[in-house]
């Protein structure tokens, strides 16, 4: 569904309430933004902005764990929302925060543009047209504004000539659905030309257009069976054949529309998966049944062949002996030739007449018996041939047992196969629940400004665990160039950039005795995981919690200590303190408190930090803050 300018003007009645709120998180899912905003006294609101729609939602999305670059850029620049407004009557939503503005163009292909001092500093997609460009570093130019019907004295007088329904949709930016509704309510023939409208029709149209623009508010959603058709800010007579559901606000109607649309898509996908699985099992069942039927037929045939040998033993023995003697005397080819000649004579002996074919390669003869042909092997006792037939029959019977068991299993799978019911309330609804801690929370941890997880040991035991339990070949190992520092691992560090390396190096010197001692900087090295070992060579000594490095090290010189802390949304509505270098915290947390080595008890500083951050509704745990902070006495910076 693509919203109209009128839709957007009505949605603003809800969206304007976001002013004064603080942006906590920004997610990007394909071409949709999900902006979480904390409103004092009301809690969190979720603003969904797509390339053709926007609304407030009570449902959470399945967002990527590592936010795309544009979402990270928005997190960095968006803080308190000073103003939320629609530009004129255009489908443009603007979110102003300090000296930056997020311009959301909700028309055409749609776009999201971050603007500062009139220049573009970020864009969802960069584009160029004949009349304007969306390019980072260039001034931002708005598209040509549409006429605002709310400023018009007479709506019809502002319509160009042409079919009335088309002119209302285009010239007043109301869209086709509402233009059709207006014509339907007034009884004006929608294909009539504007210049041919009598005065009474003009008056009726003016009254109805004014009604839906200025007055009528009755949010509904229309559905056909289970499928959502469209939300509307007022009732539509043209949709009277659809099921109708009322809502408190147009935004809620929009939210339900997209929620149920996604739910229906999930249901259809599960139905398709169910049918595909069922059809696959049915095919297996048919294949198994065909296999069993074939094995039974083969088993019966082999037993019959064995019994026919004994029933026709005398003639078969004569034929077999006659052929074997001929082959020994004349050779295979000559014997076949003689048999062919003999078959041409009038009085053919029975042992010749009953021969169908002779196979030289596999040394068998096909004999014509009264109940069909039978294959007999030459230079092998008839008893041995019969025994071989019995063995093959038993082999088929053994395979039948396995195949029947497999068929039984498939039938049970079909009987047990049930359609997987879907409940998107469980999947999407915003619920507060007790969470299980992530594996990395037992260590010091933070996400770098580039989105990489960095983990650090706390003590001898966790230093060992960081390396031995969690370091993998695509990671990177860092350590301060002195004993007693923590083992630091960047997960997927082989792909990390210089900024992540710098931040991890700062953690390597910050979470150690340099902070306690007030030392401002030290050297840090990093190596690949395969260079880190706990096996000393002869003459080497390794303390528990430390490791031996083999090969060359890459050094980062004079790395300074640096620590900040902020609320990080580890799960939906679950905020925990994240401590790391300032830039990493600023990129990942909506609020940042900087720290420095000092002379204040760690617990007192933690209380000060909690007071600062919990004022914004994050409810951070004091003990978690203390555990996240650098070791030793610490003060809030500034």
Q: Among candidates 458, 480, 457, which has minimal Cα distance to 467?
A: 457
> Cα(96)–Cα(16) distance, rounded to whole angstroms?
12
Q: Which two tokens mark 380?
A: 């092998």
Same domain, yes or no, for 415 and 462?
no
Same domain, yes or no, for 62 and 161?
no
Residue 69 falls inside a structural domain: yes
- Specify the 3-state DSSP secondary structure of 562: coil
User: Given this model, what pLDDT does residue 578 score?
Assistant: 97
Could you say which of 405, 430, 455 is where a domain stops?
430
Phi-psi region of 117 (alpha: psi -120 to 50; beta: other; left: phi over 0): left
Residue 227 falls inside a structural domain: no
> Cα(84)–Cα(480) distance, rounded to whole angstroms?
47
Q: Which two tokens mark 72?
A: 């990270």
Same domain, yes or no, for 156 and 26?
no
Distance of CA 226 to CAs 34, 80, 222, 230, 268, Å?
A: 26, 40, 10, 12, 11
Same domain, yes or no, for 520 and 584?
yes
Same domain, yes or no, for 409 and 451?
no
Same domain, yes or no, for 305 and 209?
no
Map tokens 């026709």 to a residue: 312
Q: Give the CATH number for residue 84.
A: 2.30.310.10
Map tokens 């007043």 to a residue: 172
Q: Which two tokens mark 314?
A: 């005398």
In our burial notation (b when 16+ CB lie closer than 10 A, e otherwise), range 416-446 reads: eeeeeebebeeebeeeeeeeeeeebeebbbb
Residue 12 falls inside a structural domain: yes
Same domain, yes or no, for 477 and 449?
yes
For the chain, state the CA radius of gyration: 41
Q: How many CB atoms lie within 10 A of CB 240?
A: 10
Cβ neighbors of 259 (< 8 A, separation 6 or more) are 57, 59, 424, 428
Residue 112 falls inside a structural domain: no
The string of DSSP letters for 122-146 reads EESS-EE-SS-EE-TTSBP-PPPPP
User: Given this model, what pLDDT does residue 428 score?
Assistant: 46
Which runs of E-coded beta strand occur in 295-392? 355-359, 364-369, 372-377
Could you say which of 216, 242, 257 is where a domain stops?
216
Cβ neighbors of 291 (< 8 A, separation 6 or more) are 403
Range from 212-221, 249-258, 443-452 carrying the lowest mean pLDDT = 212-221
Residue 455 sits at φ, ψ, to 5 deg, of -120, 145
Phi-psi region of 124 (alpha: psi -120 to 50; beta: other; left: phi over 0): alpha
Total domains, the chain: 4
With bands split at pLDDT 50, 70 and 90, how would you rate the model's confidence at 435? low
Q: Between 281 and 120, whose confidence is greater?
A: 120
The residue segments making up the domain with residue 164 are 147-216
Q: Which two tokens mark 406?
A: 């497999």
On whether the CB atoms of residues 292 and 407 are closer than 8 A, the answer is: yes
Residue 74 falls inside a structural domain: yes
Residue 344 falls inside a structural domain: yes
User: Of the spans 419-428, 497-506, 537-546, which averages the highest pLDDT?
Assistant: 497-506
Same domain, yes or no, for 448 and 562?
yes
Average of pLDDT values for 541-556? 84
Same domain, yes or no, for 418 and 473?
no
Same domain, yes or no, for 80 and 16?
yes
Average of pLDDT values for 264-268? 83
Same domain, yes or no, for 401 and 444?
no
In the predicted structure, residue 424 carries a pLDDT above the cut 60: no
Q: Among candidates 488, 490, 482, which has minimal Cα distance to 514?
A: 482
For the chain, what's the residue count? 638
Map tokens 């160029």 to a residue: 128
Q: Which two tokens mark 393?
A: 């029959």
Residue 135 falls inside a structural domain: no
pTM, rounded to two decimals = 0.60
Q: Give the CATH number for residue 198.
A: 1.10.8.50
Could you say which of 99, 129, 158 is where a domain stops?
99
With bands split at pLDDT 50, 70 and 90, how would you rate the model's confidence at 430? very low
Same domain, yes or no, for 528 and 630?
yes
Residue 252 falls inside a structural domain: no
With bands split at pLDDT 50, 70 and 90, how would you rate the model's confidence at 544? low
């Amino acid at each position: 569904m693509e919203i109209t300018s009128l839709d957007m003007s009505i949605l603003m009645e809800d969206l304007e309430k976001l002013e004064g709120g603080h942006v906590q998180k920004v997610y990007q899912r394909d071409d949709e933004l999900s902006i979480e905003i904390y409103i004092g006294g009301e809690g969190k609101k979720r603003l969904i902005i797509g390339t053709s729609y926007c609304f407030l939602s009570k449902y959470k999305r399945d967002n990527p764990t590592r936010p795309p670059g544009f979402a990270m850029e928005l997190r960095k620049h968006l803080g308190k929302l000073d103003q939320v407004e629609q530009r004129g009557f255009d489908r443009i939503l603007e979110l102003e925060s300090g000296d930056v503005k997020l311009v959301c163009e909700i028309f055409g292909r749609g776009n999201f543009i971050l603007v500062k001092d009139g220049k573009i500093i970020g864009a969802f997609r960069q584009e160029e047209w004949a009349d304007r460009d969306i390019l980072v570093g260039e001034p931002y130019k708005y598209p040509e504004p549409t006429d605002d019907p709310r400023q018009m004295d007479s709506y019809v007088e502002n319509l160009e000539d042409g079919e009335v329904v088309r002119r209302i949709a285009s010239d007043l930016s109301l869209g086709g659905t509402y233009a059709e509704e207006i014509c339907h309510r007034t009884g004006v023939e929608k294909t009539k030309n504007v210049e041919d409208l009598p005065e009474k029709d003009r008056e009726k149209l003016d009254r109805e257009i004014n009604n839906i623009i200025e007055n009528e508010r009755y949010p509904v959603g229309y559905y056909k069976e289970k499928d959502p058709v469209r939300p509307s800010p007022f009732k539509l007579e043209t949709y009277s054949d659809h099921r109708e559901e009322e809502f408190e606000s147009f935004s809620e109607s929009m939210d339900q529309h997209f929620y149920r649309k996604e739910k229906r898509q999930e249901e259809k996908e599960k139905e398709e998966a169910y049918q595909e699985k069922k059809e696959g099992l049915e095919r297996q069942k048919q294949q198994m049944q065909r296999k069993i039927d074939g094995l039974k037929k083969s088993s019966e045939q082999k037993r019959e062949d064995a019994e026919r040998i004994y029933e026709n033993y005398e003639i078969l023995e004569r034929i077999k002996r006659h052929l074997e003697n001929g082959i020994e005397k004349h050779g295979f080819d000559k014997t076949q030739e003689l048999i062919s000649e003999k078959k041409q004579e009038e009085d053919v002996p029975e042992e010749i007449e009953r021969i169908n074919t002779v196979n030289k390669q596999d040394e068998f003869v096909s004999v014509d018996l009264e109940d069909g042909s039978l294959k007999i092997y030459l230079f092998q006792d008839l008893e041995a041939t019969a025994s071989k037939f019995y063995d093959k029959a038993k082999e088929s019977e053994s395979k039948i047992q396995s195949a029947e068991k497999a068929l039984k299993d498939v039938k049970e799978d079909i009987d047990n196969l049930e359609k997987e019911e879907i409940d998107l309330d469980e999947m999407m609804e915003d619920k507060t629940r007790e969470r299980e801690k992530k594996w990395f929370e037992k260590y010091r941890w933070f996400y770098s400004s580039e989105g990489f997880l960095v983990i650090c040991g706390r003590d001898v035991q966790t230093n060992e665990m960081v390396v031995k339990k969690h370091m993998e070949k695509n990671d990177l190992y860092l350590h301060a160039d002195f004993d007693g520092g923590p083992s630091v691992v960047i997960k997927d560090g082989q792909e990390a950039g210089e900024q992540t390396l710098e931040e991890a190096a700062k953690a390597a010197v910050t979470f150690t005795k340099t902070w306690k001692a007030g030392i401002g900087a030290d050297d840090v090295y990093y190596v690949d995981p395969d260079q880190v070992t706990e096996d000393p060579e002869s003459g080497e000594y390794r303390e528990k919690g430390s490791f031996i490095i083999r090969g060359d090290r890459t050094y980062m010189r004079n790395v300074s200590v640096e620590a900040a802390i902020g609320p990080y949304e580890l799960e939906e509505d679950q905020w925990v303190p994240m401590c790391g270098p300032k830039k990493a915290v600023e990129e990942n947390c909506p609020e940042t408190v900087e720290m420095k080595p000092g002379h204040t008890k760690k617990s007192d500083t933690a209380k000060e930090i909690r007071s600062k951050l919990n004022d914004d509704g994050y409810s951070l745990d004091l003990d978690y803050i203390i555990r996240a902070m650098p070791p030793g006495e610490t003060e809030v910076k500034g």
